[in-house]
Amino acid sequence: EDQVTQSPEALRLQEGESSSLNCSYTVSGLRGLFWYRQDPGKGPEFLFTLYSAGEEKEKERLKATLTKKESFLHITAPKPEDSATYLCAVQAYLNYGGSQGNLIFGKGTKLSVKP
Amino acid sequence: DVKVTQSSRYLVKRTGEKVFLECVQDMDHENMFWYRQDPGLGLRLIYFSYDVKMKEKGDIPEGYSVSREKKERFSLILESASTNQTSMYLCASSSTQKQWTGAGDTQYFGPGTRLTVL
């Protein structure tokens, strides 16, 4: 069964203290891995899509990497405005089952950055 | 920019009422989705649609129905609202990429509707 596990559930950092969030996945054929940011009371905001192992993408203080079993979201010198819940999701290829277009979401990591 | 809008940010309804939640996207996406999000349970898929007038059940369709009469609009209907349907409801849309491109289908979300059923 396809599944996504994110760790830790919650992470508290001091401003400037770099760290990483983990997303472990099990899927028969990975079509894409997605990272979203979600602020309290709002809808998830798309950050990155990764397609193949070894791929990396960056946006400001965030860098996402992908291996065959997991993805990391590295946060360099975080600021209080980076506080949010970060969601990871995967999409499987149709030939390996799963519904067309559907994403499987992890439960998220709640990041708090203190000044 | 992709834009997905939802009809209400906050909604309060009484048990037994029929509730309509509307979602509109402006990017000509084929696919539209309805999720609910609850603390500790994450995002759960209720229904989705890959084309006008088409719908498929997600993981938790009980107590809900949907309607897609136009490509840009996807409605979620609670036939008889119950207190356990109090939740954050999120709509999303995506465009299906050709599989041979290796590109996944990025879903874009609306702002959400916080529904309270009393």
Examine residue A8 and say whether the peptide bond preceding it is cis (omega within 30 degrees of 0): yes
Q: How far is it, in rounded angstroms, from Cα B81 to Cα B65?
A: 12
Q: Where are the alpha helices (DSSP H) in A8-112?
A: none
Pair B105, B2: CB distance under 8 Å: no
Q: Do A43 and B31 touch (CB under 8 A)?
A: no
Other CB atoms within 10 Å distance of the CB of residue A109: 21
Report residues of chain A scoring pLDDT below 70: 94-101
Assigned token pair, B57: 């059940």
Q: Which residues of A touch B31 (CB under 8 A)?
A: 101
Structure confidence by residue, pLDDT tens digits, B51-80: 899 999 999 999 999 999 999 999 999 999
Beta-carbon separation of A43 and B105 below 8 A: no
Which of A31, A100, A105 faces B50 most closely, judged by CB atoms? A100
According to the model, what pLDDT value does residue B111 have?
Answer: 97
Q: In chain B, which residues have pLDDT < 50? A: none
Which tokens belong to B40?
Answer: 């500790």
Tokens for B6, please give them.
């939802």
Query: Within 10 Å of residue B32's Cβ, how many Cβ atoms?
Result: 28
Nearest to B42 among A99, A100, A107 (CB): A107
For strands B73-78 and B64-70, give the pairing.
Answer: antiparallel
Question: Among all chains, which residue has been given the structure tokens 């696919």?
Answer: B31
Return the H-helix or E-strand segment holding B30.
Answer: none
